[in-house]
Amino acid sequence: MEEKRSQETIPAALPEPLTPAAETPDEPLLRVNHTRTGVRAKPTSATSELDLKTPSLYFNRELSTLQFHIRVLEQALDMSHPLVNRLMFLLIFSANLDEFFEIRVAGIQRHIALHPDEVGSDGLRPTELLDEISRVVHEQVERQYRILNETLIPELARQNIFFLRRESWTAPQREWVREYFDEEIMPVISPIGLDPSHPFPRLVNKSLNFIVELEGQDAFGREGGLAILPVPRPLPRLIRLPAHLSRPGCDEFVFLSSIVHAHAEELFPGMKIIGCYQFRLTRNADFSVDTEEISDLASALKGELLARRYGDGVRLEVVNDCPAHLTDFLLNQFNLAPRDLYLVDGPVNLSRLMTLLGDFERHDLLYKPFIPGLPKVLNNRNESLFSLIAQGDILLHHPFQSFTPIESLLAEAANDPGVLAIKQTLYRTGADSAIVSALVEAARNGKEVTVVIELRARFDEADNLLLAARLQEAGAIVIYGVMAYKTHAKMLHIVRREKGGLRYYAHLGTGNYHSRTAKLYTDYSLLTANERLCEDVHLVFQQLSGMGKPRVIETLLHAPFVLHDRLVKMIEREARHAEKGKKAHLIIKCNSLTEPQLIRALYRASQAGVRCDLIIRGMCCLRPGVAGVSENIQVRSIVGRFLEHTRVFTFHNDGKPEVWASSADFMERNMFQRVETCFPILDKKLAQQVRKDLETYLVDNCQAWVLTTDGRYVKQVPAEDVPAISAQETLLYAYAAKA
C-alpha cells in the first residue's frame, strides 16, 4: 500500500511548551526538537521580564538539522515534483544522513568522552541528545525505505522503470549477470575468511560489504565460519541491463548488491553458504589539524585525509533479514551500541544510486530544463564586461540567472593586456572549473595571480589540494588563508590599467565559484567597480596574504572582526525605531540560525515590536511565537527544486532601507571562526530587486514550511480561494530566459 503524503514526520513527544502568542493547529505536523521536559522560561524580575538565555527558548541545533533532512525526504511524496526527481530527494536524504553521522554524531560522541554531563543551551545533555537522534533517525529511515518500496518503486514500474530483484531475473538476464560478475566483479573482489590469521578487516568508510556465514571445510581443512566480503568502491552500485534483455520500452536495472549476493557461492567454492547479508559502516570523517604543531598545512591535510577513511565507527546499517547473532558480532567489532544499528529493507547504500540520473533519458520524468537569464545590460553584449561593470553595478540571482558572466569576466581578464593582477578566493569549485582554467591562463599570460584556496573545505580537501598544485605549476601565488580561520568569503578582485590610472573591479557572492552548483543553488552575485567596495575587497585580500593589524574597512562587513557586532547593532537599530512608534521590519534569509547573541538580539527586537521575517532553510535554534519574547517573529523554510543558499538581510531603517548580502550564516563558526564578507547592495534599483525577491519567498504557499512555537514545521498549502505561489517557480519565470 502506498504511503499517503502526511504533514507528520516526527511525532515526537514534546515538553510542555511556552505560552504561544497564538494557537497553533491541532493536527500532527513536522516536529523539531525539544528542550528538556519541564524547562520553561522564568521571570527574572518583578516585571516578569523573561531571561533570554532560558533553555526552553532554544531548539537543539542537531535535532533542528535533522528536521531539514526530513523536509527533504518529504519531497519524495510531493506530487508537484517529477517522479525521478522525487526519487532523487529520497537519495539526497541518505547522503545528508551520511554527513550528519560522519560529522555531527561523531562530534557528539567525542563531546561525551570529554564532557559527558555538560548541558547545552537547549537544556539537553549529550547522552540525551544521542538517544533522541537515534529515535528520530530510526523512525525516519524505516519510513524512507517504506516510501521507496511502497510508493516510488511501484510508481517507477508504472512508468516502465524496473529495479529487478534476483528472483525476477529471466534466464537470459541471469546469464548476462553471470558474465558481468565473472568479467567485472570477480577479478577485483577479495573475500576474507575470519580466523586467527585473518582478523577482521579494516573496512573503508561507507563501503558496501557482506558478512557471510559458511559451513563445511575449505581447501586447507579449515572449518567454515564467518567471512567478510568487501565490495570495491569503484564498481557501480546500479547496473542497467542491455536493451535486448529488457522488456520493450522498459528501462531495467539490477543492484550490484544483488549480483554479488547471487554469486557469493562462487567466491567460496565447495562451501555451503548459510547466510549472506550486506552491511555498511559509517565512520567519523571529521578531523582537525593542530595549528601550532604543523609547518605545512597541505602536507598535514594529506595525512588526515587518509585517516578519515578509517575513523571510529558511528553507525552500522545492515539488511533487515540479518540474524541477531551476526548484527551483535558486527556491533562488537566496531565498538558500537545497539542504538547505532539501523536495519534497512533494501540496499544499504542508497546515496550511491544517484548515478541513475546520469544514466537516464526519460526527460518526461525530470524537471523541465531551462536557460538561465541575464540582466538586460548583459544581453546581446558586444562591449567588454569591464566597460559594462564600470557603468554600474550588476546583480545576478542564480540559478535563475546565469553564472557565465563571472566565468567570462575572468576569461576576459586573463587575456586583457590592461589587467595587471587578479586575486581570488576558492572554497568549493569543480575539478573542471572554468574559473580555475582562467586563473591558470592568466598566470601563464604573466598576470599577477593570487589565489586563496581553503584546503579545509569539508569533503573538498583532496580536490582543493590538486587545484592548488595546478595553479602553482602555472605560476600563480597560492596561499591557504589564515590557519585558525577558514576562508569562506567569496571574492574576486581585478586590477586593470585604464586611461587615468589603475581601476579596481570586484565580484562578491553568497555562493561558491562552482558552475555546477550555480545551476542548483540559489545565490546572489554582485559585479562592481564601486571604488569603496573594491578598495575594501583589496584590503581584505591584503589581510589574508600578509600580516598586520586589522585595517579600517569602510563599506564591507567582515568576519571575524566586525560582522557579528554590526549585525547585532543593525537589529538593535530596528528595535529603537520600533520603540519610537515607527515602522520597523527586518528580513533575514540564510541557511542556519544558531548564534545565541544574534538570536537574543532578534528576541529583543521582537519585544520592541519589530516585525521579523526569517527565511531559514536549515537549522534554526530560535523559538518563534513565544508570548512576550518572539510573537513578532515568523520563521519559514523553503524546500524545493533548488537548494536555497542565499544569505541576504534587509532592514527598513526608518524608511532608509538597507540590503546586505553575505557569505556568512548566522552561526558561531561564521561569525568567529571564518573569514567572511557581508556587502551592501548600494544601487537602489538592485536593492529593490532583492527586497522584491524576498517578498516572493514570504508569500510562498507551496514549498514553505512555517516553524511553530512548539517546534513543529507546518507545510503551507494554499486555501481554496488563494492562488498557489511557489517562490522558486515565480523567480524562475521572472528571471530565466524565455523559450
Per-residue pLDDT tens digits for 626-650: 999 999 999 999 999 999 999 999 9
**pLDDT for position 21:** 40
Using CA atoms, how far apart are residues 617 and 614, in angstroms rounded to an integer?
9
In angstroms, the Cα distances linking 631 to 48, 172, 478, 616 are: 16, 66, 49, 17
Spatial contact of 229 and 267, defined as CB atoms under 8 Å apart:
yes
Annotated binding residue at 428? Answer: yes
Q: Are residues 356 and 431 in the same domain?
A: no
The angle subtended at Cα 488 by Cα 484 and Cα 494, nearest 5°, is: 115
636 is in an annotated binding site: no
- Three-state DSSP class for 119? coil
Q: Are residues 347 and 229 in the same domain?
A: yes
Separation CA 305–CA 60 (nearest Å): 30
Given 327, 361, 395, the domain boundary residue is: 361
* Alpha-carbon gap, residue 334 to 342, rounded angstroms: 14
Q: Residues of the chain whose pLDDT is less than 50?
A: 1-49, 293-294, 739
Q: Is residue 91 part of a domain?
A: yes
For residue 178, give Cα distances in angstroms to 166, 168, 229, 235, 269.
Answer: 12, 15, 18, 16, 16
Same domain? For 268 and 413 the reply is: no
- 103 DSSP β-pair partners: none
Q: Identify the pLDDT of residue 35.
A: 36
Question: Nearest CA to 731 among 709, 708, 698, 706?
Answer: 698
265 and 332, same domain (yes or no): yes
Residue 423 sits in the same domain as residue 533: yes
**Sheet with 226-230, edge to edge strand ranges:** 192-193, 226-230, 208-215, 272-283, 313-319, 341-344
Radius of gyration of the chain (CA): 28
How do residues 349-375 score in pLDDT, each as one tens digit? 898 888 776 667 788 999 999 999 999
In whole angstroms, what is the distance from residue 736 CA to residue 153 CA? Answer: 33
Closest CA to 514 of 431, 421, 429: 429
Cβ–Cβ < 8 Å for 406, 513: yes
Residue 291: the pLDDT is 53
Question: 241 and 338: one domain?
Answer: yes
Domain total in the chain: 3
> What pLDDT, on a 0 to 100 scale, did the predictor assign at position 432?
79
Q: In angstroms, rounded to a whole number, what is the distance separating the alpha carbons of residues 223 and 225?
A: 6
* 3-class DSSP state of 134: helix
User: Are the beta carbons of 672 and 482 closer than 8 angstroms?
Assistant: no
* Same domain flag for 274 and 343: yes
DSSP for 521-540, please give it.
Answer: EEEEEEEE--HHHHHHHHHH
Domain edge (last residue) among 145, 176, 198: 145
List all residues 6 or more positions away from 458 whose beta carbon is below 8 Å from its beta carbon.
Answer: 103, 286
Domain holding 309: CATH number?
3.30.1840.10
Asked if the structure places residue 675 within a domain, the reply is: no
Assess if residue 631 is contained within a domain.
no
Does one domain contain both 336 and 388? no
Contact 32, 59 (CB under 8 A): yes
Q: Long-range pairs for 78-84 at CB < 8 Å and ≥24 separation?
A: 78/5, 79/5, 80/702, 80/726, 81/367, 81/641, 82/364, 82/365, 82/366, 82/367, 83/152, 83/155, 83/156, 83/159, 83/365, 84/156, 84/356, 84/357, 84/360, 84/362, 84/365, 84/366
Q: Are 14 and 143 in contact (CB under 8 A)?
A: no
Q: Is 71 annotated as a binding residue?
A: no
Burial of 325 (0-12, 13-18, 19+ CB in 10 A): exposed
Reduce the secondary structure of 165-216 to three states and give it as a string: CHHHCCHHHHHHHHHHHHHHHHHHCCCEECECCECCCCCCCCCEEEEEEEEC
Buried b (16+ CB within 10 A) or exposed e, 471-490: beebebebbbbbeebbbbbb
Q: Which long-range contacts (CB under 8 A, 24 or more apart) does 100-104 make?
A: 100/65, 100/66, 100/69, 101/282, 101/314, 101/315, 102/205, 102/282, 102/283, 102/284, 102/285, 102/286, 102/314, 103/285, 103/286, 103/458, 104/62, 104/65
CATH number for 461: 3.30.870.10
Domain span holding position 210: 160-361
Question: Strand runs (DSSP E) across 646-723, as ranges?
Answer: 648-651, 658-662, 674-680, 704-707, 712-715
Which amino acid, one-letter code, is at 448? E
Q: Which residues contact 718 (CB under 8 A, 6 or more apart)?
A: 701, 702, 724, 725
Q: Kindly state the helix (H) or strand (E) to which residue 424 belongs, with its residue range.
A: strand 419-426
How far is the CA of 357 from the CAs of 38, 156, 254, 367, 432, in angstroms?
Answer: 48, 13, 15, 12, 20
CATH number, domain with residue 37:
1.20.58.310
Which contiguous run of DSSP H or E holds residue 133? helix 126-147
Same domain, 407 and 344: no
In terms of DSSP H, where are the helices of 215-296? Answer: 256-262
Cell of 473: 605549476
Question: 63 lies in a domain?
Answer: yes
**Position 681 in a domain:** no
The catalytic residue positions are: 488
| Residue position matching grid coordinates 524547562 | 39
Would residue 654 count as lying in a domain?
A: no
Q: Is residue 722 part of a domain?
A: no
What are the contacts of 287-291 at 24+ separation with CB within 8 A?
Answer: 287/311, 289/456, 291/483, 291/484
d(CA 342, CA 97): 12
332 is in an annotated binding site: no
- Which set of grid coordinates corresponds to residue 268? 567460496
Question: Is 96 annotated to bind ligand?
Answer: yes
Q: What count of Cα atoms within 13 Å lies in the side-chain half-sphere of residue 642? A: 25
Domain boundary pick from 554, 589, 620: 554
Is 677 a domain residue?
no
Report how far residue 718's alpha carbon sits from residue 550's, in angstroms, rounded to the nearest whole number.
51
286 and 164 in a single domain? The answer is yes
Give the DSSP H/E element, type plus range, for residue 504: strand 501-509
Q: What is the pLDDT of residue 683?
A: 98
d(CA 610, CA 368): 41
- Within 10 A of 160 (CB to CB), how many other CB atoms are there? 14
- Backbone region of residue 270 per phi and psi (left: phi > 0; alpha: psi in -120 to 50; beta: other values): left
User: CB–CB of 96/72 below 8 Å?
Assistant: yes
Q: Strand (E) positions, 242-331?
A: 251-255, 272-283, 313-319
Domain shared by 99 and 205, yes or no:
no
Cis peptide before 718 (omega within 30 of 0): no
List of E strands, 538-621? 557-559, 585-590, 611-616
Q: Is 40 annotated as a binding residue?
A: no
Whether residues 165 and 112 share a domain: the answer is: no
